[in-house]
Every structure is written in C-alpha cells, then in structure tokens.
Amino acid sequence: MPGSLLESTGGSVFPSAEVKVYLEGRKSAEKSGVVGVYLNGVGQGFDWANYWLKNKGETPMYCNPQALPLSGDLFLKMVDRQIELLRPRMSKADLNAMPVPLLLQKALVEAFPCPAPEK
C-alpha cells in the first residue's frame, strides 16, 4: 500500500520495539512522527493499566500529573532521556535490545511517582 504507515517505517511498525529500531526511527522527521504515535499508544496502554489498578484498589504504576498533558512528544523526550542515562552503563548491544516500552514505563514511574499511602 503506497504511502502507508507500514511503508514509511520500512514495512513494519516496530515489530520488536527495541531501542535499535527506535533510534533508527528517530533519524528522520517522518519516521520520528510514527515513533511518537507508537509511544502515544504505549502510553495510553499504561494509562489503562493504571485505571485498572486503581479500580482494583491497588497502587498505580505512576500518578498522572494534572497540569502536564502526556503525549507522544513528551514520551519521545522521556525515552530519549532514559537511553542517554543508560548509555554509559550498558553495552551497545544490550541497550539496542532493550524494549522501548520498558524505558517509557521506567521514565513515567520515576517522573510521576504516586504519593505514599496514608496509614
């Protein structure tokens, strides 16, 4: 399908969602937009998981900030920052194999911790 989302990412939409594929996608504005859409979907999935946890009476993974909209652009910056923090501590091969959703989850948990439950 000419001009499709799949074609713009070389025939796949992050089949493995690893850092290596993520970094390749960040090299051009067109592909970077696709990466942002992908991360937005991952982030929405985390929001639904948080909703489910709250409804079960459990502590959510992170607490959404009220004044900051969470979006693909912010998620890109958060994942980029996680990659930069991990670069000096991991081999290139290990970093390239790291799942991008895990980095986003780690970034969200660290950036937006939930307050400790009152006792």
Residue 6 lies in a domain: no
- State pTM to two decimals: 0.82
DSSP 1: -
Q: What is the pLDDT of residue 111?
A: 94
Is residue 2's pLDDT more than 50?
no
* Least confident interval from 1-5, 52-56, 84-88: 1-5
Residue 95: domain span = 25-111
User: Any bridge partners for residue 18, and if so which?
Assistant: 99
Residue 17 lies in a domain: no
Q: Give the chain's domain count.
A: 1
Q: What is the pLDDT of residue 16?
A: 57
DSSP 87: G
Residue 7 lies in a domain: no
Residue 116 lies in a domain: no
Residue 99 lies in a domain: yes
Mean per-residue pLDDT, 79-96 = 96
Residue 15 lies in a domain: no
Question: Dihedrals φ, ψ of 99, to 5°?
Answer: -70, 130
